[in-house]
Amino acid sequence: MNSYKIEAGTAQHIGNRPLQNDRVALLTSARAPGYVLAVLASGLAGGSLASEQVLHTAKLLFDEFKPGDTPTIERVERLLRDIVHEAHLVIRLNGEATQTEPQASCAVLMLTPAHQAVWAHVGDARFYHFQKGACQLRSSDAGYVMHLIATERLAADAARNHRQSKLLVNVLGNSRKQPFVTVGHRPAVTAGDAFLLASDGLWHFFTDTELGAAVHKASPRQSAEMLINKAAERADGKGSNCSMAIIKLVKLVKPAKPAAAPSATTIGSDF
């Protein structure tokens, strides 16, 4: 039987920045029992306004989500896309009202009671999937580069070199472009799987192997503490905001059956 328990946690460190512009959360919903949503948003321009809006929108739409008796992966993917696009719209409206352009990258992950994992990401907030410490998947710009080649008619090298320009940057809140959302899923996750959502203040300083080993060998809290300390050491005073969500699927251990009580023996004595 594919049984596991979820061990999860979030952590943040301001790094060497004056403000903490990232936001991260683990959410549940009364209308979707057994579902867990992890959200990480990394604020870029405009401070924390955009990243706060991502979390607010995620909670609002997740609270309204009714999966029904036989939810499909496609329905969950649609929810994650809706979170991204609605957050983008509100961020843009806020920017117009304040004459600013707040922006954020984000990564979101949904775990379902049917043992499915569904994720989406925009920009340089990264998503990782590990199995017993080995990296099975890491999000990247590859999908966005191919999108640019197909829709902007750019050569591959041009798309890679210019995707960080103000016109082409892939973020929520960009007044010139809709965010390009990369989605993925695993139809059957099991004990030994682990997931990491990370801002660039974390993943920039580690290899996939290092991240997988850290997540695998310790509890989410212990892993987060070690990674934050090591990132600060490697940043050498130049670190960005460092944020993460760690979700581990841990094998359920059946409690040992209690030993049978010894049968009572009556010893009679005559006085």
Kindly report which listed range (81-95, 113-127, 254-268) carries the lowest average pLDDT score: 254-268
**Residue 269 in this model has a pLDDT that exceeds 80:** no
262 token code pair: 């010894």
Provide the 3-class DSSP secondary structure of residue 27: strand
Q: 171-215 pLDDT, tens per residue?
A: 999 988 899 999 999 999 999 999 999 999 999 999 999 999 999
User: Max CA-CA distance within the chain?
Assistant: 107
pLDDT value of residue 214? 97
pLDDT at 70: 74
Domain spanning 4-135+170-248: CATH 3.60.40.10: yes
Per-residue pLDDT at 73: 95
pLDDT in tens, 253-262: 776 666 555 4
Cβ atoms < 10 Å from Cβ of 184:
16
The token pair at 3 is 């049984």
Q: Which of 84, 103, 82 is nearest to 92 (CA)?
A: 103
- Residues 60-86, mean pLDDT to the nearest whole number: 93
Say if residue 59's pLDDT is above 60: yes
Strands 134-138 and 182-186: unpaired
- Domain segments of the chain: what residues? 4-135+170-248
In this prediction, residues 102-109 reach a mean pLDDT of: 96
- The pLDDT, as a whole number, for residue 6 is 97
* The pLDDT value given to residue 166: 44
pLDDT at site 169? 74
| Residue 107, H or E segment | strand 104-111
3 or 169, which is more confident: 3
Q: Using the predicted structure, report yes or no on whether residue 155 has a pLDDT greater than 90.
A: no
Express each pLDDT in 211-241 by its tens digit: 999 999 999 999 999 999 999 999 999 999 9
Mean pLDDT, range 147-164, rounded to an integer: 57
CA distance readout (Å), 3 to 47, 190, 192, 253 = 41, 7, 11, 9
From the list 190, 173, 191, 171, the residue with the least C-alpha distance to 181 is: 171
